[in-house]
Structure formats: structure tokens, C-alpha cells
Amino acid sequence: MPDAPADLPEAASRRFESRAFTSGLTVPDFAACLQSGLRPVGFVQGFCVMQWSWYGMGSPYNRGLSPYGGGGGYSETYQCPHGYVSAEHRSWGRNYEQSWVEQAWSQGFGLAYGRMLEEATAVGAHGVIGVIDTSDRLSDLGVVEFHVRGTAVTVDGVPAPRGGQPWTTYLAGQRLTKLVEAGYAPVSVAAAVASVRVWAYCITEYLLGGGGSAWGGQQSSAEVTQVAAARTAARQLAREHVRAQLGGDSLHGAEMVVSEREVGEGDQEIQCLLRGNRVRRFKEFDPVAVPHPTVRLS
């Protein structure tokens, strides 16, 4: 492949010289892909191994910092209503956006995604369908590997692409066909992470520890407002990050994954991953044929 980018591993360019196409599609998706005039040319992928600054000195990853210092972005401080109780008593708590985690994620994802696009460009693809992205922790602490892969395709009857990036989508098979039939064209995948850190103050700490009655009086069920606010913020931030990538297009088939990690007593880190397909209308909505009702006899 003479015009393969220089920084692809040698094995990748060797692989693309082969006659046979490869496709990561299942057989039903493969059939649907041929049906809608797409031809798989190669399974393409990109990787990036990142070191995350979990415990970096420069990051406010440290309870000793002032509750009022802000790192930019979302931040909320909780003040204890009890006055001085003891030195261990958590008289203040804080929720804040960890923008450095978000940046590390988007850098890692972006590099892996970019490498997949390079492979796709090298095989002369118009687009990449059935994209899958994963990020896995490697054994060393704070080292995360991003892996983005998909099946590069060409569109029948369309001249080979000259410059420009291939389009990408998480969809494949009938789901993609239905979207295109409805008048939307895939533009790219869109994904972003929001990360919010919760430093619990006394009330949150006791509520999470199941000791609500000890400090709050009689009630046994109560909202843990600090955590609720952090989760709401994480979801909202993820949505804002993805919206910033859309440039006026629509997001289709969005999927949101919220996970949390306990860091200490009552302290946690909330991560919200939002991914979806950026799509653009290219023709009038054309409803699909009236469906035929069926009943299963088994």
C-alpha cells in the first residue's frame, strides 16, 4: 500500500496488501450491508495506551486542598451545619468536575480513533461501520488502553474518496439500513466522558454509611443530596461535551453508561460515558413499507 500513513505498524500495511477483505460484521449484518450497497474492505482498528494522572501532584486529588479552590468547570461546596464537633468531623465537602480525567479520556479515545481512520483511509474506504470502542485497564496502575475498531466499507457506484475523512458509525446491518432509508446519513461517532469527584461532607458520609438516624434524627430514608447532585452534573456534563461535537447535527442511538468508583469512606468518583451516532438529514423522510404483522407459533 504505497500511500499508507507512515506511523501505522508495519504489520498493518502488510495486512492490507492481502487480497482478501476482512470484516468484523456478523453474517446478518454482512448480508444487510451488501443489500444496502456497502462493500466491506477491511477490519480496521486503532489503539492508544495512556498513562492517567490519577495521583499526580499537580491535580487537586487531595483532600487537604481548600474547599473553595476551583479547577474550572462544575464545582459545588457543601458546608456542615453542625459547627465544630471534632477534628475528624468532615465540616465541608465538595463536588467538582475532573477536567483532567475528561481530557485524558478524550485524548486517548481520539488518538485510537484517529489511527482507525488512518487505516480506513489506507484501504480507500468511504466509511467505517459497526464501530466498537473499549477502554481497559492494563495491569499497571493508572494505565488504560483504548481500542477502537470497525469494518471499513466502500459504497457501490461511488468514486473512490479523494482526501477527507471517512464517515463512521456505531451502527451496522439493518439498523444502519433503516436509518439511511429514513433519510439520515451517518457522519461520525460521538463520544465523551464526564468525570465528577465527590468529597463527602459529614452528612453524606453518615448517610452513605447507613447511619442516617444517628445525625439526621428520626428519618431513615433521605436523599443523599450531594451524590444526587454529582450524578446529575456528570450526566449533564457528558451531554454538553457530546453536544459540542455535533456541530448542529443530530445524535442518534445515544447510550449512556454511568459508573462509580469508591475512593474512600463516602468519597467517590462518578464517570459518565455518553456515546452515539452523529447523523445528518440528506433527504426527505421516507417511511418504510407498512410492516406485516406476524405471530410466532412456538
Stretch that binds other proteins, among 120-128, 220-228, 239-247, 282-290 (CB under 8 A): 282-290
**245 binding other proteins? (CB under 8 A):** no
**143 binding other proteins? (CB under 8 A):** yes
167-168 vs 75-79, strand pairing mode: unpaired
Residue from the set 108, 127, 166, 276 that interacts with other proteins by CB under 8 A: 108
Residue from the set 2, 6, 20, 220 that interacts with other proteins by CB under 8 A: 20
Handedness of CA 204, 209, 214, 219 (dihedral sign): positive
Residue 158 CB contacts under 8 Å (≥ 6 apart), including other chains: 126
Supply the minimum distance, in Å, between the C-beta of residue 41 and other proteins: 9
Taking the C-alpha atoms of residue 85 and residue 66, their distance in angstroms, rounded to an integer, is: 19
Stretch that binds other proteins, among 35-43, 72-80, 196-204, 271-279 (CB under 8 A): 35-43
**272 binding other proteins? (CB under 8 A):** no
Residue from the set 48, 117, 193, 272 that interacts with other proteins by CB under 8 A: 48
Supply the minimum distance, in Å, between the C-beta of residue 146 and other proteins: 9
**6 binding other proteins? (CB under 8 A):** no
Per-residue burial over 180-217, b if 16 or more Cβ lie within 10 Å, else e, is bbbebebbbbbbbbbbbbbbbbbbbbbbbeeebeeeee
Residue from the set 126, 149, 175, 197 that interacts with other proteins by CB under 8 A: 149
- Euclidean distance between the first and the last CA atom of the chain, given in angstroms as a whole number: 52
Which residue, 173, 171, 184, is CA-closest to 286?
A: 184
Do residues 42 and 24 make contact, with C-beta atoms less than 8 angstroms apart?
no
Residue 121 CB contacts under 8 Å (≥ 6 apart), including other chains: 5, 161, 165, 166
**135 binding other proteins? (CB under 8 A):** no
**87 binding other proteins? (CB under 8 A):** no
Stretch that binds other proteins, among 9-17, 120-128, 210-218, 277-285 (CB under 8 A): 9-17
Burial of 148 (0-12, 13-18, 19+ CB in 10 A): buried
In the shown chain, the binding pattern of residues 164 to 203 toward other proteins, with x for contact by CB under 8 A and - for none, equals ----------x-----------------------------
Stretch that binds other proteins, among 102-110, 184-192, 242-250, 259-267 (CB under 8 A): 102-110
Which residue, 89, 132, 125, 87, is CA-closest to 109?
A: 132
Residue from the set 2, 3, 6, 11 that interacts with other proteins by CB under 8 A: 11
Do residues 154 and 124 make contact, with C-beta atoms less than 8 angstroms apart?
yes
Supply the minimum distance, in Å, between the C-beta of residue 200 and other proteins: 25
CA 172 distance to own-chain centroid: 18
**158 binding other proteins? (CB under 8 A):** no
184 residue type, one letter: Y
Stretch that binds other proteins, among 106-114, 215-223, 238-246, 259-267 (CB under 8 A): 106-114
Query: Can you give the binding site for other proteins, defined by CB under 8 A?
Result: 9-12, 14-15, 18-28, 30-32, 34-35, 40, 43, 45, 47-53, 55-59, 100, 103-104, 107-108, 111, 138-140, 143, 145, 149, 174, 288-296
